[in-house]
Amino acid sequence: MPLLIFLVEDSATIRDNLLPALADLAGAEVIAYAETEVAAAEWLDAYGGALDLVVIDLLLKNGSGFGVLRHFKARRPDTALVILSNYATPMMRERAASLGATAVFDKSTELEAFFEFCGGLKR
């Protein structure tokens, strides 16, 4: 069975590149995505199915990845929550960890490590 992922990413270009890469490199399936904090929260509140991983960008069209992280951590505490951002500074990493992020990866320098992490998660 593929790893089931919900993606919170507002860039269509990044989504278009991540979806096939996650399937090929991590055996994962992105089951849905959201571009805003509110849309991500609404999706989670409506979705009752299986979910293995949530991949969250920090800067969204509306809202923040930190808000998404808080929402998912409160409602799905056993789901892996990963921040994938161009702004993975030490301060952002610390804040994400304090809010319950499982891991934080920089989009520009840590994609290989991100795909390895995803590939290591088991259903």
123: confidence class by pLDDT, cuts 50, 70, 90: low
pLDDT, tens digit (0-9, with 9 covering 90-100), for 70-106: 999 999 999 999 999 999 999 999 999 999 999 999 9
Please count the structural domains in the chain: 1
pLDDT, tens digit (0-9, with 9 covering 90-100), for 35-49: 999 999 999 999 999
pLDDT, tens digit (0-9, with 9 covering 90-100), for 51-80: 999 999 999 999 999 999 999 999 999 999
How far from chain centre, in Å, is Cα 80?
8
Which residues partner with 19 through β-bridges? Answer: none
CATH number of residue 83's parent domain: 3.40.50.2300
**Structural domain that includes position 46:** 3-120
- For the chain, percent of residues with pLDDT exceeding 90: 96
Question: What's the pTM?
Answer: 0.96
d(CA 117, CA 99): 19
For residues 54 and 102, the answer to whether their CB atoms sit within 8 Å is no
